[in-house]
Amino acid sequence: MKKNKLVYVFLAVVFLLAFFIIPNAQAATVDATSLKQMFDRLDNQQRWDWYKSQKDNALIAWGESFVMKSYLIMYEATQDKQYLEEFIGHADSVLARRDNIRGVTDYRGLRLPAWRCGAYTNYKKYYIYAVQTGLTAEPLAKFAAIVSKEPGLSAYQAKANEYLQAAKDAVAVHDMRNQPQYLDVQCNWSEDYDSMHLSLPLNMNLAQASAILAIYEATGDKSYLDKATKITNYFKKYLTVIPSSNSYTWKYFPGDATYGSAIEDLNHTTFYLDFIYSAYKYGLFNENDIQRFANTAEKVLIKNDGTIANRVDGSGSANIPGEIAFWLWFEQPSSHLFDVSYKILSGLTSANEWELVGVAMLNYTFARGNGQPVSDPGQSPEPAGNLIVNGDFSAGGTGWVSLNNSAKINTETNGNKYLTNGYNWDFYQELSLKPGTYKLNMRTKKGTANLGVRIPVQFFQQDGKYTVPYAFKYSNKGGDWESMPEMTIEVPSTAVKTRIYLSVDAGGSGTYNFDDVSLVPAGSTPAPEPDTIAPQAAITAPAGGSTLKSAANLEATASDNVGVTQLALAYASNAQGSWTSIGDSTLVIGTAMDGTWRLAWDISNLANGTYYVRATARDAAGNTSTSDPVAFVISNDQTNLIVNGDFSAGGTGWVSLNNSAKINTETNGNKYLTNGYNWDFYQELSLKPGTYKLNMRTKKGTANLGVRIPVQFFRQDGKYTVPYAFKYSNKGGDWESMPEMTIEVPSTAVKTRIYLSVDAGGSGTYNFDDIALTPVN
């Protein structure tokens, strides 16, 4: 989605005039007061209030969400509650403009707690875009996170609760896996064991991740952290290092046929740079990553002449140079990023929404570097007690810094996760601890190491210097898990950061295993003994081997020593295959410690054949176990895989470009499609490899040639083939059925497109109706 180019032109003219007419202030003269005055001067509240009347367009996301973001950053920088009040004025209005509150629906007829947009369809259809929801929901959740961490903001708790629930509801709109009939590209997540993504540009995925991680920050609900981690892992796949600058570059939409070679631009990075920084605080990125992002800003985006590039490979010229200030999240010692940002922004006589965030970032960065009480987005939302984040490794490497892929997270047969590492300085957790005495505990198990373990503790001062006053050592007596003797740590008043490393002793070879790492203030109640017992689950209904049709009520039993918190069901076409989520079931009989769970499974759109179903149970400690798969035979009446093949719902399910095709209605009320020769009208499907039958009716319009039905297969890399182009000419002037067409979908095809068109080179129109695609058993 691109913003209006005229807006960019206008903003560029305003910037250039301001740059040459207003003398540039020098960053060396700034202080907290002048920076705050600078923001207040550019904060055009009357202009921003105009947004409160906007609906059904993209302006809440593209504009108002950035104004809201700027107020939160200013509060974090200054602790001035007036900025929270300004935020609330917008947030209340944003909530009042949700579709479910206004009583309006999207193109699917759904009335949802989100914000529909018709700006890209001439307001003929309304879609709910993942990127717009992410941008809008993120500041709502962020407000709740700020309030949750500051006791002095208790008066805002009711608002925080309201905004947090709204953010959760909005994000949930983009997860329709339990309602597959409503899936579209904005909510159809592709997910495997360690990554997930929508088939959309990276910025749109990361806008969703930003809202999801902000919800985790506010709640500590690790299901949100798991999702944010998986989206982060997807993003990491496409980060490329430029050796000459040790910086990152990446593409706008990797693998896409249209945008596959386009490099990400500065404007779209503003959607998610704060997410990258927050993700770093939770261990999803490491220090090497952050240095490379910083180098992208300082060595690539900032050109030698002081101007700002438009793309992260250094090409082009930025439309809004002040957006470079969004990169201040990554400012490093002796950086000139602040000075460059200040020089650009301080000369403005008026600011747009992104420049306003840039000025807020100047305030935040200055406060952070001068000892002001800036909220730390990385403060753990973990429950009171253990100060170590994810000390039992149930969330993988979350919360820990892992360099050079030296350390590994492994899983025991009972589902327990633990760390394996050798001798290095690559694996640690960094904490902001108050001065005082702390107790450190953990369990260890000997691997292949020839020496014992060594637990170094580093204290970092404000100037970056550090000491290593502790290096606790232990050698296991046997071959099983053992608790190390409790370790006492005295954190000095000069320490601004504390690092705790897990390693084999210096000079050793081989590996050791670590688990259940806990750190508590001396005198507080030690963290409870962790629950390491995994729940047990089994599919109980329908009976294995049953034949299913249309829908089935799946039941599974699950038991646990503490209690099952989630029982998820998934299916696959073979017992060792790739598993697809059916959804989370509901406890219907018994208790969480021993009960029966149920979930309705819609199988009407599945091809006939044998499928396997399994249950995965999870408890509150993160222990999981998966049941043995149970086979079922699906025997549906042949179901049409084409969505809205009779056009009774207008253009729903079809892609229509350039307004070339039209939906018309006969006198009897029957709706049908009219189109000419083009590539503008098609339906895109995710089909399994196999044989399919395609049928439709056609009726001659004004065309001088017959019809042509091209079929395209798209591969994972975005390349495609067009192996079929079925042709037919009607014999008379009424509706006729085309001869049945057979399509072989190859295993390399991830997407299939079916086009409806007049034959190549033809003029005039043809009519199409009753399109059906069914699998051949």
Q: Distance (Å, rounded) from C-alpha 271 to C-alpha 208?
A: 10
**Three-state SS string across 521-539, please?**
ECCCCCCCCCCCCCCEEEE
pTM: 0.52
Task: Kindly report, residue by residue over 634-666, the tens digit of the pLDDT.
Answer: 887 667 899 999 898 899 999 999 888 999 998
In 3D space, the residue among 775, 701, 762 whose CA is nearest the CA of residue 727 turns out to be 762
Cis ω on the peptide bond leading into residue 542 (within 30° of 0)? yes
Eight-class DSSP state of 298? I
DSSP 302-347: B-TTS-B-SBTTS-S--SSGGGGGGGGGG--TT-SHHHHHHHHHTT
DSSP 476-515: -SSSS-EEPPPEEEEE-TT-SEEEEE-EEPTT--S-EEEE
Q: Distance (Å, rounded) from C-alpha 425 to C-alpha 437?
A: 24
Q: Give the distance, in angstroms, between the CA of residue 481 and the centroid of all CA atoms in the same chain.
A: 37
Q: What is the pLDDT of residue 638?
A: 64
Encoded amino acid at 21, one letter: I
Q: In what order do the strands lie in the sheet with 551-559?
A: 536-541, 551-559, 594-602, 586-590
Tokens 């989520």 correspond to 581
Cβ-count burial 477-507 (b if 16+ within 10 Å, e if not): eeeebeebeebebebeeebeebbbbbbbbee
Tokens 């590994």 correspond to 408
Residue 592 has a CB neighbour count (10 Å cut-off) of: 18
Residues 505, 510, 514, 520, Cα dihedral to 10°: 10
Helix (H) or strand (E) holding 70: helix 65-78
Q: What is the pLDDT of residue 382?
A: 40
CA–CA distances in Å: residue 658 to residues 6, 652, 702: 21, 16, 20
Eight-class DSSP state of 17? H
For strands 512-521 and 624-626, give the pairing.
unpaired
Using a pLDDT cut of 70, give the percent of the chain over it.
Answer: 92
Task: Kindly report, residue by residue over 372-427, the tens digit of the pLDDT.
Answer: 445 444 444 443 468 999 899 988 888 899 888 889 999 887 778 899 999 999 99
Q: Distance (Å, rounded) from C-alpha 668 to C-alpha 299?
A: 67
* Structure-token pair, residue 114: 């989100």
Three-class SS of residue 155?
A: helix
Q: Distance (Å, rounded) from C-alpha 167 to C-alpha 139?
A: 9
The values of phi and psi at residue 566, to 5°, are -155, 135
- The dihedral built from the CA positions of residue 697, 702, 707 and 708, taken in this order, carries a sign that is negative
Residue 622 clears pLDDT 80, i.e. is over it = no
Ordered domains of the chain (ranges, CATH): 5-369 (1.50.10.20), 401-521 (2.60.120.260), 536-634 (2.60.40.650), 655-775 (2.60.120.260)
Q: What is the pLDDT of residue 20?
A: 35
Task: Kindly report, residue by residue over 474-531, the tens digit of the pLDDT.
Answer: 998 888 888 898 899 999 988 889 999 999 998 889 999 999 999 998 865 444 556 7
For strands 547-548 and 630-634, give the pairing.
parallel
Q: What is the pLDDT of residue 597?
A: 92
Task: Kindly report, residue by residue over 225-261, the tens digit of the pLDDT.
Answer: 989 999 999 999 999 999 999 999 999 999 888 887 8
Q: What is the pLDDT of residue 577?
A: 66
The values of phi and psi at residue 455, to 5°, are -115, 85
In 3D space, the residue among 592, 583, 661 whose CA is nearest the CA of residue 615 turns out to be 583
Q: What is the pLDDT of residue 659?
A: 87
Q: Which residues contact 282 (CB under 8 A, 6 or more apart)?
A: 213, 216, 225, 228, 378, 389, 398, 399
How many residues comprise the chain?
Answer: 777
Angle between helices 65-78 and 82-96 (to 10 degrees): 160
CA–CA distances in Å: residue 357 to residues 81, 209, 363, 587, 716: 17, 20, 10, 46, 37
Split at pLDDT 50, 70, 90, the class of 103 is: very high
Residue 466 clears pLDDT 90, i.e. is over it = no
Split at pLDDT 50, 70, 90, the class of 2 is: very low
For strands 690-700 and 766-775, give the pairing.
antiparallel
